[in-house]
Amino acid sequence: MQVACLLIFDPPVAAVLRVEPELRGRPLGIVDGTSIVAGWLRGSTLAQALTVEPELAVRPLSLEAVESAHAALFDVALSVSPRVHDAGLGRVFIDLAGTESLFPTGRSVRTALEARLAKVGLAGTRIGLGPTRTVALLAARHRGGGHEIARGQVADFLAPLPLDLLEPPDELEDRLSRWGIHTLGQLAQLPRAALGARLGAPGTQLARLARGEDLTPFEPASPRMRHEESASFEPALGQLEPLAFALRTVLDALCQRLSVRGLAVHELWVELELEDRRTYARRIAVGAPTLEVSVLTTLVRLVLEQAPPDAPVERLRVVASPGRVEPAQLDLFAPPLPAPAELAVTVARLEALCGPENVGAPLVEDSHRPEAVRMVPFGTRRSPLSSEPRQPPEGALLALRALRPPWRVRVNEVEGIPRKVELPRTRELRVAQHAGPWRLFGEWWGDRCFARDYFDVELADGGLYRLYHNLEGDTWFVDGIYD
């Protein structure tokens, strides 16, 4: 078994560089309170650090950003193999068994991992390959990483490595140092029983690590189906434009993470923490899974514009539900349809313009009630059944223009047959010709029972109307005009 180790040397710094890549190469200190906890001049106070290095870029410690960076690292690992051991912040191991057909050599694995790490903003992450997790970790830690150790080379590789690469407890390291033990090779040669008698379990475990053995079995972690990115703002953002800019950065990071795993954004959950401690949350459905940041930004922006947060925003959190991008099979004879992502933006724009309840595909409900129609979300996915072109009938059929709500009209009737109809805002009109009645009666099992006598009438104004007599209330309505 060959194992790859991905190691972020300084997770808080990597988390900042992931969001602000322009800081790469510049002195950067991560500050928690008044002291620098990571990066340059670690351990000093902020004032001391700025005195020593006036050009020092200082960023606050964000545990969420560190966790996001670790999640991105995990995603990269999962893009290579489904067996990934999560060893804590900034450290994952990949079981490369079975990936030989994809990555025949260690170099090809490293190249692929480096490209994907750069894609998710984690360039500089150390990579090490070895037969065990311990060897892979040491290969990643030693001299900037990038080492590939075969099973037969383990002893030669480990022997000259300094003891502190194993990060032993200070007391143990001092004691071994007093014995003249400074390298892993020297420690590995000590007799196990004698070492255990003198140093106890920590000593024997350290000796096993020095021989390249793992102390625990490989535990594959289950892949995350929830992808989250966040950003905090100090001071809080009070306007939509800078928020949209930050949103784009966050969505870009999210999309890069998903892309390395071959996934796309299917649904977004946007959560804003406002200055007054309230939370603003919106769910945004994406028409078809996409990785186009501009499309997603537009969708979120349209939602925010429609109902903007009423207080400055301190923190932005975006959670994506992943989906698979479905390949579109183009047809030689069928015309190309708009791209699903673009269509989703158009529908979102139309919803923002006219209201979401006024945009959709018409749907005839399974009911005998003629007015039983509604709107459903519009989608263009070609189903195998609907891909067959449906030829419209030859000739032209009458169409009905629906009146919503139906006009309530006064009708002069003789033995149930309408003779004159008074339409809204008109005088009474004679019925020139009529057809009917035919009765519609249904839904007697529920509250919406209806019983109507329908007529098609031609009135003296030349209009052709569909008229019905509501038998329950003895009222007359016009619910459509033939056109």
Partner 1 sequence: MLQQIGLAGRVHMVAEGAEVAEVAEVAEGAVSAPQAQVLEQPPEPRLRSRGSLEELDRLLAHALLAHAERAGSRGIGAIRGIRIQDARGQLIEIGGAPSSGRTALAQRMSAQVTARGELVGWVDTANALDPRSLARAGANVQRVLWVRSDQFKQALRAVELLQKAGFALVVLDLGGIEPRLLQRLGQAPWARFQRMARTRGASVLVLSRDLHPLGQCWSGACAALGLVLQKQRACFDAGLFEGFETRARVVRQRGGGDGDAFALQLRQRLQKH
Indicate the residue among 364 and 414 with the shorter CB distance to partner 1. 364
Backbone angles phi, psi at 72, to 5 degrees: -65, -40
Query: Does residue number 205 form part of the binding site for partner 1 (CB under 8 A)?
Result: no
Shortest distance, position 257 Cβ to partner 1, whole Å: 29
Figure out which of the listed residues 1, 197, 361, 449 binds partner 1, where binding follows CB under 8 A: 361
Query: Does residue number 389 form part of the binding site for partner 1 (CB under 8 A)?
Result: yes
Shortest distance, position 483 Cβ to partner 1, whole Å: 4
Secondary structure of residue 390 in the 3-state scheme: coil
Query: Does residue number 277 form part of the binding site for partner 1 (CB under 8 A)?
Result: no
Q: Within 10 A of 328 (CB to CB), how many other CB atoms are there? A: 14
Query: Does residue number 185 form part of the binding site for partner 1 (CB under 8 A)?
Result: no
Query: Does residue number 53 form part of the binding site for partner 1 (CB under 8 A)?
Result: no
Figure out which of the listed residues 1, 215, 435, 460 binds partner 1, where binding follows CB under 8 A: 435
Q: Which two tokens stand for residue 19?
A: 């969001």
Query: Does residue number 235 form part of the binding site for partner 1 (CB under 8 A)?
Result: no
Stretch that binds partner 1, among 138-146, 196-204, 234-242, 355-363 (CB under 8 A): 355-363
Stretch that binds partner 1, among 86-94, 140-148, 180-188, 426-434 (CB under 8 A): 426-434
Shortest distance, position 247 Cβ to partner 1, whole Å: 22
Q: How far apart are CA 91 and CA 334, in angstroms?
A: 50
Query: Does residue number 364 form part of the binding site for partner 1 (CB under 8 A)?
Result: yes
Query: Does residue number 159 form part of the binding site for partner 1 (CB under 8 A)?
Result: no
Secondary structure of residue 337 in the 3-state scheme: coil
Q: How far apart are CA 146 and CA 127, in angstroms?
A: 5
Q: Is the dihedral of CA 82, 8, 88, 30 positive or negative?
A: negative
Query: Does residue number 363 form part of the binding site for partner 1 (CB under 8 A)?
Result: yes
Do the Cβ atoms of 420 and 430 come closer than 8 Å?
A: yes
**Which residues, in sequence order, are bridge partners of residue 103?**
none
Backbone angles phi, psi at 194, to 5 degrees: -65, -40
Query: Does residue number 387 form part of the binding site for partner 1 (CB under 8 A)?
Result: yes
Nearest Cα to Cα of residue 3 among 146, 129, 137: 129
Own/partner contacts of 214-223, CB < 8 Å, gap of 24 or more, are: 214/132, 214/133, 214/134, 215/134, 218/3, 218/83, 218/85, 218/93, 218/95, 218/133, 219/85, 220/82, 220/83, 220/84, 220/85, 220/95, 221/74, 221/84, 221/85, 221/86, 223/78, 223/82, 223/84
Query: Does residue number 105 form part of the binding site for partner 1 (CB under 8 A)?
Result: no
Query: Does residue number 34 form part of the binding site for partner 1 (CB under 8 A)?
Result: no
Figure out which of the listed residues 37, 375, 449, 460 binds partner 1, where binding follows CB under 8 A: 375
Reported residue count of the chain is: 483
Figure out which of the listed residues 434, 440, 451, 470 binds partner 1, where binding follows CB under 8 A: 434
Figure out which of the listed residues 277, 401, 425, 427 binds partner 1, where binding follows CB under 8 A: 401
Query: Does residue number 350 form part of the binding site for partner 1 (CB under 8 A)?
Result: yes
Do the Cβ atoms of 158 and 212 come closer than 8 Å?
A: yes
Figure out which of the listed residues 347, 409, 411, 421 binds partner 1, where binding follows CB under 8 A: 347
Stretch that binds partner 1, among 28-36, 82-90, 197-205, 338-346 (CB under 8 A): 338-346
Residue 391 DSSP one-character state: P
Q: Which two tokens stand for residue 113?
A: 């991992």
Figure out which of the listed residues 342, 422, 428, 443 binds partner 1, where binding follows CB under 8 A: 342
Query: Does residue number 392 form part of the binding site for partner 1 (CB under 8 A)?
Result: yes
Contacts for 221 with CB less than 8 Å, ≥ 6 apart: 74, 84, 85, 86
- Pattern 448-477, binding to partner 1, x per CB under 8 A? --------x-x---xxx-------------
Query: Does residue number 343 form part of the binding site for partner 1 (CB under 8 A)?
Result: yes
Backbone angles phi, psi at 308, to 5 degrees: -70, 150
Do the Cβ atoms of 68 and 230 come closer than 8 Å?
A: yes
Q: How far apart are CA 398 and CA 408, in angstroms?
A: 23
Query: Does residue number 413 form part of the binding site for partner 1 (CB under 8 A)?
Result: no
Stretch that binds partner 1, among 32-40, 68-76, 349-357, 407-415 (CB under 8 A): 349-357
Residues that bind partner 1 (CB under 8 A): 331, 334-335, 337-338, 342-343, 346-347, 349-350, 353-354, 358-364, 370, 373, 375, 378-380, 382, 386-387, 389-404, 432-436, 456, 458, 462-464, 480-483
